[in-house]
A and B are shown apart, each in its own frame.
Chain A
């Protein structure tokens, strides 16, 4: 009976897994369709509200972000309160707090509010909202299909991956970001679903909007090995500036949060006005800024212009985000990184003693550095550069610059951006980076290299009792004739007899599980509920004992007073 019960449970699990995978595809399809419409809505708002191109509607450009910011803030504060925030923390909250529940109104709210705010020229991007819309769709479908709670908890990240993959038209980036930032583990249980949803979302986007990468990038090559130092400098600059950017947002938001609630619209309008004013001279900083990145990748700007664009974009993005204008941070960080990287590339052209690659290659490399520094997702930033540009030639500079930026930013600001924002909003969401940094304890951290007592199964009972008395051990490991060990409690040994008989004949010696030094201490803890002492063996010589571990040892490793 118990066996058949287990078989039934296994069959149900398998069916649920299949159902989850099928629903993941549906999530991807729905998220993809939504993101296509979202993308179109932003463009239509931009064309008919902001005016498609710089040079026309000069003063319309001044007021457009203000009006957009007011409308968007009205929507999220009065009509769709669930749609507030950038989107990433909302997806994390669904995972960690609300068992996968994302209010359906957040989908419509994000769609409308962000279409207006971004399309009207506010310096924000569409990716984080797309991520939240993906989570919302996933949550809705999960509830429609009445998925069990443990699957529901994982469904928001599946939708998030679909949303972000569709927004960037980059399946790998979507998967990586969710694994790296949202769920913070490489869980095989959910990886398949995330992949399926991301891929199906990207298929939908490409079906409707074409399969061109986000940026068309000419081919670049690294010209001299010493140039890697310049790329590292781009990484350092990206790291420093990203830390400064996060600090700027922290300060601005804290200051604005202290102001009375009635000033919410004034804050948004003020931020929009600043964006519009900067936009009169630098229209490139308005909106997501993809056209400007593309122009920078094609050598349109000289390095002083690139540097100015990067700095202005930092300021206006920080202001828009702090004023709670709905929209995302991904596109602006790509913009800022690209411009700063390009600016430094231009300087390197003028001053670096050996030949350097075209400035545009620094634009491309710089793009990921700021992202890596702000969001602390280095893998995502590296792969994103490859995917949005469809250019894999400059892999080495991208890795060098992004890892450097990530490292520098981490040293300067321990809390990543989204954790900081969550805490400012009064929610203590776990930080993926903190998860990664908190290394789990392993058996090797708890084990005693000299086991208290090791006996041979052929030893006489009297000798074994004497040895146990001398060692004062509460348990002994007994080496069995055919290999393996038994764990023998002192009481059992004390009761054994006759004294002259070998242990193997006098006692039943069941095999106890062996541990290896690299195993999590958590595994040892569970097993030690049934055994007083466990052998720790070498992985290369299974019968060689490298230590032992007891409950006291594990407690000591965890810092518990035993």
Chain B
């Protein structure tokens, strides 16, 4: 290498080192300033979010992201705020990007699942819920997974897929930690979606874990009542009342259940006369329920008339044939009421429960 070239190379190398060092100093300050600005915007955004000013919060989170575009937490927070504000499209774009960065994030997948469900993308929603359930949750993983599973169950409920719904709820019940606050909602959903046996199991388990869990006792009572186990239901509800004597809901449930016990003609160990009396009472109350529908169509009116005559007629000496006839008449009246005024609310809970029991037990 010629001396002139060597000198030039040395000078250029020195200049490069100096410029590199200076740039490093400047860049360090720049990065720190960006970080500081990003955090400052994120803090303001969080404050706005807490005040419920979601648009301002979103603006601030967007500003934070211009300074720290790779910040996962800020982007997730922005997506959360946008979702809360109903700006699904923008939220979704951020979430899709976050899922690219971290496919296993439970929070991201849960939010995407909600958006997919909201937009009617059923398969995508189910997939995202599953990803959320099996995803990574840095905080409270059990609770979050359970919440995701319950939301998935809710989606199946909306879609009318009872089998998958119950499967999810049973999985949730199996995975639920021994915390009444987490287990009770599962039992409630099982009860709501028509699985009283499983609901009773989970409530019973919860009362065993925490004897003071009033809600679990109430749930157990409702589940037992739904299965027609009125005695067990009354026992559970009494336990609930002992723990919370002032709860009007417990008192009402107990009262309704006791009333149902007194009305139900299908209960075992009833004398023939008592069974017949109850069946006549059921017919009478079913007729009243039908009459509350207002003007009846011809067929229902004829049925009501027949019921009135049957109730007015003298009770026969031998009751073996009379009781089943009365129960069949009650069933017909109940169906007629259901067909005539399906939207009318039933005020007679004891009758409703009894009819459910009679119709369930009736031969096809």
Contacts and interface: CB of A to CB of B under 8 A. Distances in A.
Interface of A: 26, 29-30, 33, 36-37, 40, 43-44, 47, 52-53, 55, 141, 144-146, 208-210, 212, 216-219, 291, 294-295, 297-300, 358-360
Given A208-B24, A295-B62, A298-B90, A146 B69 contact: no
30 contacts: A30-B16, A33-B23, A36-B27, A37-B23, A40-B30, A43-B34, A44-B30, A52-B63, A141-B12, A144-B8, A144-B12, A145-B5, A145-B12, A146-B4, A146-B5, A146-B8, A208-B23, A209-B27, A212-B70, A216-B97, A218-B97, A218-B100, A219-B96, A219-B100, A294-B69, A298-B90, A298-B93, A299-B89, A300-B62, A358-B89
Interface in B7-39: 8-9, 11-12, 16, 19-20, 23-24, 26-27, 30, 33-34, 37
B66 interface: yes
B176 to A, nearest CB: 35
B87 to A, nearest CB: 8
A297 B4 contact: no
Interface string B277-300: 000000000000000000000000
Contacts of B259: none
A148 to B, nearest CB: 13
A33 B62 CA distance: 29
A360 B63 CA distance: 20
A29 B59 contact: no
A208 B5 CA distance: 30
A299 B92 contact: yes
Interface string B74-97: 000000000000000110111011
B349 to A, nearest CB: 49
A219 B112 CA distance: 14
Nearest to B2: A146
B93 A40 contact: no
Contacts of A146: 4-5, 8
A44 B34 CA distance: 10
Contacts of A217: 97
A295 B62 CA distance: 8
A482 to B, nearest CB: 51
Contacts of B41: 53
Contact of B23 (A36, A212, A218, A294): A36
Contacts of A53: 41, 59, 63, 66
Contact of A208 (B27, B62, B90, B93): B27
B94 A298 contact: yes
Nearest to A360: B93
A200 B62 CA distance: 32
A218 B90 CA distance: 11
Contacts of B24: 208
A52 to B, nearest CB: 7
Given A218-B100, A294-B69, A358-B89, 9 more contacts: A33-B19, A33-B20, A47-B37, A53-B59, A53-B66, A145-B12, A208-B27, A212-B70, A216-B69
Contacts of A55: 59
Contact of B12 (A26, A300, A358): A26
Interface in B43-80: 59, 62-63, 65-66, 69-70
Nearest to A32: B23
* A-B pairs with lowest CB-CB distance, top 7: A218-B96, A299-B90, A218-B97, A298-B93, A208-B27, A299-B93, A299-B89
- Which of A44, A210, A218, A291 counts the most B-chain CB atoms under 10 A from its CB? A218
Interface of B: 4-5, 8-9, 11-12, 16, 19-20, 23-24, 26-27, 30, 33-34, 37, 41, 59, 62-63, 65-66, 69-70, 89-90, 92-94, 96-97, 100
A52 B8 CA distance: 42
A43 B69 CA distance: 15
Nearest to B9: A145
Contacts of B69: 212, 216, 294
Contacts of A141: 12
Nearest to B92: A299
Contacts of A36: 23, 27
Contacts of A291: 66
Nearest to B78: A298
A141 B310 CA distance: 114
A457 to B, nearest CB: 56
A43 B30 contact: yes
A391 to B, nearest CB: 10
Contact of B93 (A52, A144, A212, A218): A218
A12 to B, nearest CB: 12
A37 B21 CA distance: 12
A295 B89 CA distance: 12
Nearest to A54: B59
Nearest to B79: A298
B250 to A, nearest CB: 49
Contacts of A299: 89-90, 92-93
Contact of B16 (A26, A44, A298, A300): A26
Contacts of A359: 89
A37 B30 CA distance: 10
Contact of A40 (B5, B26, B89): B26
A297 B66 CA distance: 13
- Which of B5, B16, B65, B69 counts the most A-chain CB atoms under 10 A from its CB? B69
Contacts of B4: 146
A287 B65 CA distance: 18
A361 B4 CA distance: 55
Nearest to A298: B93
Nearest to A212: B70
Contacts of B63: 52-53
Contacts of B96: 218-219
B90 A29 contact: no
A155 to B, nearest CB: 14
Contacts of A29: 16, 20
Contacts of B93: 218, 297-299, 358, 360
A29 B24 CA distance: 13
B201 to A, nearest CB: 44
B325 to A, nearest CB: 61
Nearest to B23: A33
A379 to B, nearest CB: 27
B295 to A, nearest CB: 49
A300 B85 CA distance: 13
Nearest to B66: A291
A297 B96 CA distance: 12
Contacts of B94: 218, 298
A364 to B, nearest CB: 11
A543 B320 CA distance: 117
A202 to B, nearest CB: 15
Contacts of B30: 40, 43-44
A291 B9 CA distance: 41
A482 B112 CA distance: 77
Nearest to A23: B12
A145 B96 CA distance: 51
Given A33-B23, A36-B23, A208-B23, A144 B11 contact: yes
Contacts of A43: 30, 34
Contacts of A360: 93
Contacts of B59: 53, 55
Contacts of B66: 53, 291, 294
A145 B8 contact: yes
Contacts of B100: 218-219
Contacts of B5: 145-146
A295 B97 CA distance: 13
Contact of A300 (B20, B23, B37, B90): B90
Contacts of B34: 43
B119 to A, nearest CB: 12
B27 A40 contact: yes
